[in-house]
């Protein structure tokens, strides 16, 4: 069995590790590796390394830092198959998804910020003939990056890349449920000769090493992606020290389907938006609102197609693999039972799936569709984060908008219509951070990404991320 190690001061090390956590392959239910359950001693060592490495890293300048980020991108691309296999083993996601989305995107994250930093400029404000102001944007120092299990390397690198590009050194903590690709990334950092201490990756539990990172006075900013409840704990812990915070949290994302949509394209789009990664993408649609006049035909076509989606061994040609853990599978099944108690009808799926053979101990659920629930139902208000969607008809654009905006979340929405004017009108009024028109997860890395209400604080992507990881300082010089 593999034993993973922390990456501290340029080395893979398990020094001072007093215990290890088990890492389970969710497609088989078997323990297949151990990871260090890191502690404050290790954090202090990592922070000392990061603190001493940061000035030289900053002094390398944008070209020097870009060189390393591009080399990391190249290494990730060159190790695509190994990384994708590790991501699938850790998360249970279909290997085709890990190969086509997770790992290529991790490489793109480094490549994108390697380039972006070379174009990052600060402001200058001229005060007539009185004075000139210019704004310095210096790195913050040592920053913390904490990421979840659903898109492990993709989301970890989405934070690390801008933090490093901007000249910070980083303490990163991947999810304890999906640590393998972060461990492999550490090896790639060593291979490319990334300067020691610039990036440190500590494995372990959120409420232990994660919390210690949040509370540590030498960590100047926290970029966090994860659940809303964890985000609240982090915000409360970081506030007394006035740390900079970027919180990308949960969602309960609506899809609005109008009668004038491109029917077939919308069916395919809704299926992708609902069930990619077993519905475990923060941006996944989970509440599908359909204009009454096409509700019966749309529902029928949707169900017909959903019933063809293959579920099972993620190493085979399936659309849905396993959920991340037994606990999570139970949580999702509990929501399906709750839907029935709340008066909903399961019109498709709704059950645990037990494959035969290698994956019989895995954590699978069939793609599930529920109808008959009102907007007030808990199943329509709370994030389930699994392959579960609800359907509801609407009669007017106003009603659709009220339903879409009717939760405490505000991450993403999709709108399916061929009416451009309606699209613009809705995009303006939807209470979310991201709107996709007749599409889903079409990402330009320059655009801001994040949510409103309980979906978070701040934005990632493009200049937003580089601004987050730098401190502006205005300098005013009279003429």
Cα–Cα distance, 66 to 458 (Å, whole number):
25
Nearer to ligand NDP, 324 or 400 (CB): 324
Nearer to ligand NDP, 249 or 294 (CB): 249
Q: Are 431 and 405 in contact (CB under 8 A)?
A: yes
The secondary structure of residue 122, as a DSSP letter, is: -
- Residue 37 burial (10 A CB sphere; 0-12, 13-18, 19+): middle
* Residue 106 binds to ligand NDP (criterion: CB under 6 A): no
Cα–Cα distance, 330 to 113 (Å, whole number):
39
Specify the stretch interacting with ligand NDP by CB under 6 A; choose among 94-102, 144-152, 419-427, 438-446: 144-152
* Residue 383 binds to ligand NDP (criterion: CB under 6 A): yes
Cα–Cα distance, 8 to 42 (Å, whole number):
8
Spatial strand order in the sheet of 2-3: 2-3, 30-36, 20-25
Task: Tell the smallest beta-carbon distance from residue 457 to ligand NDP (Å).
Answer: 10
Q: Which of 173, 166, 167, 183 is nearest to 144 (CA)?
A: 173
Task: Return the C-alpha torsion angle 391, 305, 331, 434, nearest 10.
Answer: -60
Cα–Cα distance, 203 to 6 (Å, whole number):
6
DSSP 379-435: HHHS---SSEEEEEEESSHHHHHHHHT-SSEESEEEEE-S-HHHHHHHHHH--SSEE
Task: Tell the smallest beta-carbon distance from residue 32 to ligand NDP (Å).
Answer: 17
Specify the stretch interacting with ligand NDP by CB under 6 A; choose among 79-87, 187-195, 206-214, 302-310: 206-214
Cα–Cα distance, 425 to 435 (Å, whole number):
12
User: What Rg, from alpha-carbon coordinates, does the chain have?
Assistant: 23
Specify the stretch interacting with ligand NDP by CB under 6 A; choose among 28-36, 57-65, 175-183, 188-196: 175-183
Task: Tell the smallest beta-carbon distance from residue 159 to ligand NDP (Å).
Answer: 11
Nearer to ligand NDP, 195 or 448 (CB): 448
Specify the stretch interacting with ligand NDP by CB under 6 A; choose among 1-9, 54-62, 219-227, 292-300: 219-227
* Residue 146 binds to ligand NDP (criterion: CB under 6 A): yes
* Residue 225 binds to ligand NDP (criterion: CB under 6 A): yes
Task: Tell the smallest beta-carbon distance from residue 319 to ligand NDP (Å).
Answer: 20
Specify the stretch interacting with ligand NDP by CB under 6 A; choose among 162-170, 244-252, 258-266, 394-402: 244-252
CB atoms under 10 Å from CB of 226, counted, come to: 24
* Residue 408 binds to ligand NDP (criterion: CB under 6 A): no
Cα–Cα distance, 382 to 250 (Å, whole number):
9
Contact with ligand NDP (CB under 6 A): which of 126, 207, 292, 396? Answer: 207
Q: Which residues contact 146 (CB under 8 A, 6 or more apart)?
A: 172, 173, 206, 210, 213, 214, 222, 223, 224, 225, 226, 234
Q: What's the length of the chain?
A: 479
Strand pairing of 30-36 and 2-3? parallel
* Residue 385 binds to ligand NDP (criterion: CB under 6 A): yes
Q: What is the size of the binding site for ligand NDP (CB under 6 A)? A: 32
Nearer to ligand NDP, 233 or 309 (CB): 233
Q: What does the per-residue mask of binding to ligand NDP show for 278-317, with x meaning CB under 6 A?
A: ----x-----------------------------------
* Residue 456 binds to ligand NDP (criterion: CB under 6 A): yes
Nearer to ligand NDP, 14 or 135 (CB): 14
Q: What does the per-residue mask of binding to ligand NDP show for 410-429, with x meaning CB under 6 A?
A: -x------------------
Q: Are 433 and 450 in contact (CB under 8 A)?
A: yes
Nearer to ligand NDP, 177 or 391 (CB): 177
Please list the active-site residues: 248
Contact with ligand NDP (CB under 6 A): which of 29, 64, 227, 361? Answer: 227
**Taking CB positions, which residue lies at the least distance from ligand NDP?**
206
Cα–Cα distance, 237 to 55 (Å, whole number):
27
Nearer to ligand NDP, 108 or 417 (CB): 108
Task: Tell the smallest beta-carbon distance from residue 229 to ligand NDP (Å).
Answer: 7
Cα–Cα distance, 428 to 397 (Å, whole number):
13
Contact with ligand NDP (CB under 6 A): which of 161, 249, 257, 373? Answer: 249
**Coil vs helix vs strand at 222:** strand
Contacts to ligand NDP by CB under 6 A:
146-150, 155, 173, 175-177, 205-207, 210-211, 214, 225-227, 230, 233-234, 248-251, 282, 383, 385, 411, 451, 456
């Amino acid at each position: 069995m593999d034993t993973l190690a922390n990456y501290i001061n340029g080395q893979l090390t398990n020094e001072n590790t007093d215990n290890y956590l088990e890492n389970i392959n969710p497609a088989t239910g078997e323990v297949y590796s151990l990871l260090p359950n890191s502690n404050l001693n290790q954090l202090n060592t990592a922070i000392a390394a990061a603190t001493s490495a940061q000035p030289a890293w900053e002094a390398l300048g944008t070209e020097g830092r870009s060189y390393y980020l591009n080399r990391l991108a190249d290494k990730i691309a060159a190790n695509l198959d190994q990384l994708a296999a590790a991501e699938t083993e850790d998360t249970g996601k279909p290997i085709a998804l890990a190969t086509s989305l997770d790992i290529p995107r991790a490489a793109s994250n480094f490549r994108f910020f390697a380039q972006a930093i070379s174009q990052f400029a600060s402001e200058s404000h001229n005060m007539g003939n009185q004075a000139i102001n210019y704004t310095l944007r210096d790195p913050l120092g040592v920053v913390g990056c904490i990421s979840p299990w659903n898109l492990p390397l993709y989301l970890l690198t989405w934070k690390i890349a801008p933090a490093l590009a901007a000249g910070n050194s980083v303490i990163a903590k991947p999810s304890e449920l999906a640590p393998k690709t972060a461990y492999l990334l550490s090896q790639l950092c060593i291979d490319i000769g990334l300067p020691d201490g610039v990036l440190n990756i500590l494995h372990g539990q959120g409420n232990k090493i994660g919390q210690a990172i949040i509370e540590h006075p030498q960590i100047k900013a926290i970029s966090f992606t994860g659940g809303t409840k964890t985000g609240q704990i982090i915000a409360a812990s970081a506030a007394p020290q006035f740390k900079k915070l970027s919180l990308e949290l949960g969602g309960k994302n609506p899809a609005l389907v109008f009668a004038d949509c491109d029917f077939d394209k919308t069916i395919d789009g809704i299926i992708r938006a609902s069930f990619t990664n077993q519905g475990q993408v923060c941006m996944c649609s989970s509440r599908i609102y359909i204009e009454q006049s096409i509700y019966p035909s749309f529902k029928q076509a949707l169900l017909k197609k959903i019933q063809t989606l293959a579920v099972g061994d993620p190493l085979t040609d399936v659309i849905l693999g396993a959920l991340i853990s037994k606990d999570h599978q139970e949580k999702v099944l509990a929501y399906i039972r709750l839907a029935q108690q709340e008066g909903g009808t399961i019109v498709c799926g709704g059950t645990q799936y037990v494959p035969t053979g290698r994956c019989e101990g895995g954590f699978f659920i069939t793609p599930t569709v529920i109808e008959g629930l009102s907007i007030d139902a808990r199943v329509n208000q709370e994030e389930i984060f699994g392959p579960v969607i609800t359907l509801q008809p609407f009669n007017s654009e106003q009603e659709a908008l009220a339903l879409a905006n009717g939760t405490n979340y505000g991450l993403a929405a999709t709108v399916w219509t061929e009416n451009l004017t309606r699209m613009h009108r809705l995009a303006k009024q939807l209470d979310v951070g991201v709107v996709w028109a007749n599409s889903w997860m079409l990402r330009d890395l320059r655009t801001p990404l994040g949510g409103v209400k309980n979906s978070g604080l701040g934005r990632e992507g493009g200049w937003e991320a580089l601004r987050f990881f730098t401190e502006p300082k205005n300098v005013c010089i009279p003429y």
